[in-house]
Amino acid sequence: MPREYTVGRRSLLKAVGGAAAASTLAGCAAEPEDDGSGGGDGGGGNGNNVLTYARGNDSGTLDPQNTTSGEDVKVTNQIYDQLVMFKPGETSLRAGLAIDYNLEGTTTTLKLREGVTFHDGEEFTADDVIATYRRFVDPEYEHYPGDDYVSAYGPFTLGNWVEDVTKDGDYAVTVQLKQKYAPFLRNLAMFAASILSKKAIEEKGTKLKSEPVGTGAFSFEGWDQSNQRIRLSANGDYWGDAPKVDEVVFTAVGDNTSRAQTLDSGGADVIDGIGAQAAKVVENSSEAKLVEAKGINVGYMAFNMAKVEAFRDKRVRQAISHAVDTKAIVETVFKGIAERASQPIPSNVMGYNENLDPYPRDVEKAKQLLSEAGYEDGFSFELATFKNPRAYNPSPLQAAQTVKSNLDEIGIDVSINQQSFNPFLDYTDSGKHDACFLGWMTDNGDPDNFYYSLLHPGVSVEDVPEGQDWVGFDTEGFNTLDVAAWANTEFMKTVEEAQTTYETGAREQKYRRAAEIAHEEAPWVFIDHAKELRGVGNRVSGFTLAPIGGPFLNRVELR
């Protein structure tokens, strides 16, 4: 054994002992001496002007064209502006980077704000709007970042509707649409339509996912990956409401309860992603309060009419709607952090039909409807559900079990198939489910974003076979989000007309009618609209809970 490669065991023990002693000393020196670093410095404290926003996960990207995740959007909405923007806490629109916007026929004209600069000092002009558009949807553009980089929001928000974007001087832009499309201005207000800098697009390319350059109220300072922390600083030159805090730090705490505890102990100023248990912690806190608002979302159970023959009979769907105790699901299973749904949209979206009530629980009526439909002996189906909580369905498994026991009473045998969300989406996309839980959180607060996106099959009325109100998942051009495979031609015509009706009153009437049809035909069991909950520390003022377009942290002040 060559001597030079060995170390004596005594010297090793000495070394280990020495290291241990050194660490002990370091540990002693490290004891917090005063409140300067103990309880007081939990996070945003210390009297400094740093707002800490804690959420469930860190961001995946900082490029609004590279994401479909709400977690990412919370940050990009601070850094970027849109041409048209949502009013804080409302669903109506206001001027953003365009001071004037107008949609007439198939032409949108936008007058751009002058004197706005990007965080890198470049001036904002029409060229940035065109570059932003082309980078998102035009594979011919030399700076197009690739199909696997740009998100599906490219076509969803712009590409499917826009024919061409042209400029008239530096501060006027015309967007030519392929067809009349009423929600278009709202699409311009979506996070995905955030305006990027042409110079940054050309120079940074896909690096924009970690080095964002926008015109927003806050500019990007750094992303500390090991602390899951994104640091933004106030943009002193912001064209809108100037930020009242110096810095915003987005941080991630995976566990809901710990996040609420962090808020209570002063380690965070604002938290989101609050479940029933975390809501209790915040409610009981003397350091923070629970803020809630109506969400713009819907949770439902969809019947796959393309697969299960029994579901093609309206009476069966109605019977199940009467049998499922949505009141118990919302109040007991979801612990009241949601309200019952009677139609696809919540009451804060245009066209809500207040004449419709949730299907009352009525087992006798359900049995009668089933027997009329020829299913008095019941039948069986599989209910597919995701396992992890989603905002619109905070306890999917318990909710599924409630459905199972409710339907057992009317002789229908339900088997529950639980999956993780992503395989689950795959499953429902390809129409493998008999029935499934699903839900939706709005993109732009427009009724079209619910009705057309979730209940229109995407095919034309002529392609729906005569006397049938469903189509197969394999139909050319089928919209896989229509997991009920529902294709009611009257409904389809109504939402198609509403999509091209610009006069608000007339448009609203069409959606009220669409709600009636959906309620009567029951392609879904309408379950709930979840509330939006935030925990806000006592030293925070000016925080508006915005279910869409936010959070508006530039308006927040720290006492």
Partner 1 sequence: MVSKRFVLKRLLLLVPVLFGVATFVFAILHLSPGDPARVIAGQRATAEQVALVRAELGLNDPIWVQYARFLGDLVTLNLGDSYIVRKGTPVLRVLRARLPVTLELAIYGQFIGILLGIPLGLVSAVKQDSLTDHLTRVGALAGISVPIFWSGPLLILLFAQSLDLLPATGRIASAYDVPVVTGLITVDTLVLGVSAGDFAPFRSAVSHMLLPAAVIGVYSMALISRMMRSSMLEVVRQDYMRTARAKGQGAKITVMKHGFRNAMIPVVTVIGIQFGTLLGGAVLTETVFGIGGIGTLLVRAIEVGDYPLVQGTVLVFALLFTVVNLGVDVTYSYLDPRIDQ
Query: Rule CB under 8 A: which of 46-85 touch partner 1?
Result: 46, 48, 50, 52, 54, 57-58, 60-61, 66-69
By CB under 8 A, name the one of 149, 328, 335, 347 that touches partner 1: 149
| C-beta separation of 289 from 536 below 8 A | yes
Least distance between partner 1 and beta carbon 46 (Å): 6
Q: Choose the stretch contacting partner 1; rule: CB under 8 A; options: 164-172, 249-257, 293-301, 500-508.
A: 249-257
310/548 with CB nearer partner 1:
548
Least distance between partner 1 and beta carbon 321 (Å): 24
105/477 with CB nearer partner 1:
477
355/420 with CB nearer partner 1:
420
CB atoms near residue 487 (< 10 Å): 28
By CB under 8 A, name the one of 108, 187, 215, 261 that touches partner 1: 261
Least distance between partner 1 and beta carbon 233 (Å): 10
CB atoms near residue 127 (< 10 Å): 16
Angle at 101 between CA 98 and CA 104, to 5 degrees: 155
135 near partner 1 (CB under 8 A): no
By CB under 8 A, name the one of 107, 405, 420, 500 that touches partner 1: 420
- H helix intervals, 344-395: 363-372
382 near partner 1 (CB under 8 A): no
106 near partner 1 (CB under 8 A): no
Angstrom distance (rounded) from CA 496 to CA 488: 12
Which residues make Cβ contacts (< 8 Å) with residue 556, sequence separation at least 6?
Answer: 51, 244, 245, 269, 270, 540, 541, 542, 543
60/374 with CB nearer partner 1:
60
Least distance between partner 1 and beta carbon 413 (Å): 24
148 near partner 1 (CB under 8 A): yes
377 near partner 1 (CB under 8 A): no
- List binders of partner 1 among 11-30 (CB under 8 A): 12-13, 20, 23-24, 26-27, 30
Q: Choose the stretch contacting partner 1; rule: CB under 8 A; options: 218-226, 404-412, 514-522, 540-548.
A: 218-226
33/364 with CB nearer partner 1:
33
- List binders of partner 1 among 156-185 (CB under 8 A): 156
Q: Choose the stretch contacting partner 1; rule: CB under 8 A; options: 124-132, 361-369, 409-417, 477-485.
A: 477-485
Chain centre to alpha carbon of residue 217? 21
Angstrom distance (rounded) from CA 187 to CA 443: 8
Measured CA to CA in angstroms, residue 534 lies from 400, 422, 472 at distances of: 27, 26, 41
6/140 with CB nearer partner 1:
6
Find where tokens 């669903």 sit. Answer: 91
Least distance between partner 1 and beta carbon 325 (Å): 28
19/242 with CB nearer partner 1:
19
Angstrom distance (rounded) from CA 278 to CA 144: 43
- List binders of partner 1 among 229-248 (CB under 8 A): 229, 231
By CB under 8 A, name the one of 249, 290, 302, 540 that touches partner 1: 249
42/240 with CB nearer partner 1:
42
Give the chain's radius of gyration (CA, Å): 27
Angstrom distance (rounded) from CA 189 to CA 214: 15
By CB under 8 A, name the one of 18, 336, 374, 423 that touches partner 1: 423
Find where tokens 């050309």 sit. Answer: 202
How is 288-330 classified by DSSP, letter by letter? EEEEEEE-SEEEEEEE-TTT-GGGGSHHHHHHHHHHS-HHHII
Q: Give the SS3 label for residue 48.
A: coil
By CB under 8 A, name the one of 22, 37, 332, 374 that touches partner 1: 37
Least distance between partner 1 and beta carbon 543 (Å): 17
442 near partner 1 (CB under 8 A): no
29/467 with CB nearer partner 1:
29
What x-and-dash track marks residues 310-329 binding partner 1 by CB under 8 A? --------------------
Element (H, E) at 103: strand 98-104
5 near partner 1 (CB under 8 A): yes
Q: Choose the stretch contacting partner 1; rule: CB under 8 A; options: 125-133, 259-267, 360-368, 408-416.
A: 259-267
Angstrom distance (rounded) from CA 99 to CA 193: 16
196/252 with CB nearer partner 1:
252
By CB under 8 A, name the one of 363, 373, 425, 459 that touches partner 1: 425
By CB under 8 A, name the one of 163, 202, 357, 429 that touches partner 1: 429
Least distance between partner 1 and beta carbon 182 (Å): 19
| C-beta separation of 269 from 536 below 8 A | yes
Q: Which two tokens stand for residue 398?
A: 């318990």
43 near partner 1 (CB under 8 A): yes
Strand partners of residue 95 = 84
Nearest CA to 303 out of 288, 290, 314, 291 is that of 314
Burial category of 142 from C-beta neighbours within 10 Å (exposed 0-12, middle 13-18, buried 19 and up): exposed
| C-beta separation of 382 from 436 below 8 A | no
Amino acid (one-letter) located at 272: D
266/550 with CB nearer partner 1:
266
How many chain residues interact with partner 1 (CB under 8 A)? Answer: 92
Q: Choose the stretch contacting partner 1; rule: CB under 8 A; options: 95-103, 142-150, 302-310, 547-555.
A: 142-150
Chain centre to alpha carbon of residue 248? 21
443/446 with CB nearer partner 1:
443
Measured CA to CA in angstroms, residue 294 lies from 59, 422, 548 at distances of: 25, 27, 11
Which residues make Cβ contacts (< 8 Å) with residue 164, sequence separation at least 6?
Answer: 175, 176
422 near partner 1 (CB under 8 A): yes
227 near partner 1 (CB under 8 A): yes
| C-beta separation of 295 from 347 below 8 A | no
Which residues make Cβ contacts (< 8 Å) with residue 309, sequence separation at least 6?
Answer: none
Q: Which two tokens stand for residue 192?
A: 């995905």
